[in-house]
Amino acid sequence: MVQRDFADIGIKLLGIFALMYALRYVPTLVQALNMDPHKDMPIAIAASLLGVFLYLGLGRWLITRSKYLSRRLFPFEAQTGTHINSESFQAVLFSAVGVYVLCESIPEAVRTFTHYMFSDRSGADDYARKFLVLEYVAQNWAALLALVAQLLLGIVLFFGSKGLAAYWHRLRPMSRLPDDAG
């Protein structure tokens, strides 16, 4: 693979990320579609819809125009260059996804930790403090479980990227390209 190939794949991945990020705006989209244009300001409705359409358009554009953009990024590249096998490239991608997953979990981890610290300093006695923490856990057990899973997934993807890529290629021997020697 040469630099243009990496750029092409990276741009397509960025486009897929933008499409996936647009899913976050689905509740806002549903809410905006249920707004009454006579009661609510039309500018508020348009602002609600802007995010989802922006990410959908950007994602589609990046995926469909990735070859053009990679040629613009590397206009004078010959077809020879730095070669890397698909296993090493996949390890880099696993690491990048791991960093992203960890970064996405940080705000929720900080919120949970802050909630715990404030319940610890609430001025209540020991029993009441424990009750507050247990009540929080009981009400938010699914979110806390998802947070722990997200943190573990990010750590495994980041620190175990080489092992995961090697395991993936042992499971799928047909996925190796002819230039992936060794």
Q: Report which of 181, 109, 100 is spatially closest to residue 144, judged by C-alpha positions.
A: 109
State the Cα–Cα distance between residues 145 and 138, nearest whole angstrom: 11
Instruction: Tell me the pLDDT tens digit for each residue of 71-84.
Output: 887 777 655 556 66
Domain boundaries, the chain: 1-79, 84-182
Distances in whole angstroms, Cα of residue 181 to Cα of each of 52, 84, 87, 131: 43, 10, 10, 60
Instruction: Tell me the pLDDT tens digit for each residue of 92-115.
Output: 778 888 878 887 787 778 777 777
Give the amino acid at 44.
A
Weakest-pLDDT range from 49-53, 67-71, 175-179? 175-179
State the Cα–Cα distance between residues 36 and 38, nearest whole angstrom: 5
Residue where the block lists tokens 């009661």 = 39
Weakest-pLDDT range from 44-48, 96-100, 121-125? 121-125
Per the confidence metrics, is the pTM higher than 0.75? no
